[in-house]
Amino acid sequence: MDAALQPGLRYQHQFLVPVSKTVPALYPEAEEFLMMPEVFATGFMVGFLEWACIKAIQPYLDQPHEQTVGTHINVSHQSPTPAGLTVIATVELIEINDRKLVFKVEAHDDIDLIATGTHERFVVLKDKFDAKVAAKKALLQQTNKA
């Protein structure tokens, strides 16, 4: 991680919400979701906020060796956004604690404030992280064979 990465870094990212990012598309196999209105799903909104944080810090990481993973999200979803509107995320890095990065996050659509909160990411070494995932998969396969 580049030492130039410091709290105060701000970034904006925008996205035109398609129907494929609305509540019915979140879990199309769930009848309960299929009955919901076609508005930007909270699950997709969280992913959008994560995406903005990733883009903000990308220039400061030794990629692909270093990557970040989301470890905590605390966000309120305050207003519905129908498909066809643009959402804009504004993120600010507010804390660095070793490899933990804390962001203040906010999102607006073309009309309203839609989300506020915080998001934490952790810088991982890709090879070590991938090895941990592979070990977990191997354990699952062993369990399934027993």
Could you check whether the bond before residue 28 is cis, i.e. omega within 30 degrees of 0?
no
Q: Is 116 a catalytic residue?
A: no
Active-site pick, 42, 66, 116, 118? 42
Strand ordering across the sheet containing 100-108: 10-16, 86-97, 100-108, 113-125, 66-77
Residue 50 annotated to the active site? yes
Closest by CA to 22, choosing from 6, 43, 7, 4, is: 43
Mark whether 42 is an active-site residue. Answer: yes
Phi/psi of residue 107, nearest 5 degrees: -140, 145
List the catalytic residue out of 77, 81, 106, 119: 77
Rounded (10°) CA dihedral 23, 24, 27, 32: 100
Instruction: Pull the structure tokens for residue 77.
Output: 């979803």
Supply the DSSP symbol for 30. Answer: -
Annotated active-site residue in 50, 90, 108, 119: 50
Just list the catalytic residues.
42, 50, 77
